[in-house]
A and B are shown apart, each in its own frame.
Chain A
């Protein structure tokens, strides 16, 4: 079965540090790679997304790096803050065939003061 692998499962980072979460996919037909942030008791919220025609996308403190040949993509959170403590999910999908969307298992991030 196709899957999206995500690591680490949990991450503890000091305030001001860089948080890095990695994902890997298998299906080369995937063309849309979003990251979601989920706080306890809340639904996921789209954080940032990337298409495979670019290698990097930055929005504020959040950056996605994309390596098409390796079928890997990662989320970098710069200057991590306690308010960033949440679970992060990567996903891979086909824009025109959303039925194929697969989510990573999630990474629990804790940013400590």
Chain B
């Protein structure tokens, strides 16, 4: 158990809909990262927040947005969902702001868009 929690575990929704994925980092960790893992694209970095501020932005679509709240939990919002958004979404946390701090991954949320 990494100490990172993600909810929900599974999500099934229809095209065009909007969903919110939630992540609680390990106690004491200030950085939260979001990743998408799909069969065709592999593991891709989406976005990082550090202590409430956006720190790094990867391959995140404009239809997706994220935020980190004062209690350090984070939410990833996916809107106007398409079939291709079906994937595993992982959240990871680390204590520091830079990429060489060890990241601890949550169990993921499996999103299925029908």
Which residue numbers of A lie inside 8 Å of B, CB to CB?
Answer: 32, 41-46, 49, 51, 89, 93-99, 101, 103-106
Contacts and interface: CB of A to CB of B under 8 A. Distances in A.
Contacts of A51: 100
B98 A46 contact: no
A47 B103 CA distance: 11
Given A43-B92, A99-B58, A32 B100 contact: yes
Contacts, number: 57
The 7 A-B pairs of least Cβ separation, nearest first, read A43-B105, A98-B99, A98-B56, A99-B56, A103-B43, A95-B100, A93-B99
Contacts of B58: 98-99, 101
Interface of B: 2, 4, 42-45, 48, 55-58, 90, 92, 98-100, 102-108
Given A98-B45, A103-B42, A103-B44, A43 B107 contact: yes
A49 B100 contact: yes
Contact of B106 (A32, A43, A101): A43
Contact of A101 (B4, B99, B104, B107): B99
Nearest to B99: A98
Nearest to B57: A99
B56 A44 contact: no
30 contacts: A32-B100, A41-B107, A42-B108, A43-B4, A43-B92, A43-B105, A43-B106, A44-B90, A44-B105, A45-B104, A45-B105, A46-B102, A46-B103, A46-B104, A49-B100, A89-B42, A89-B43, A94-B99, A98-B45, A98-B55, A98-B58, A99-B48, A99-B57, A99-B58, A101-B58, A103-B42, A103-B44, A104-B42, A105-B42, A106-B43
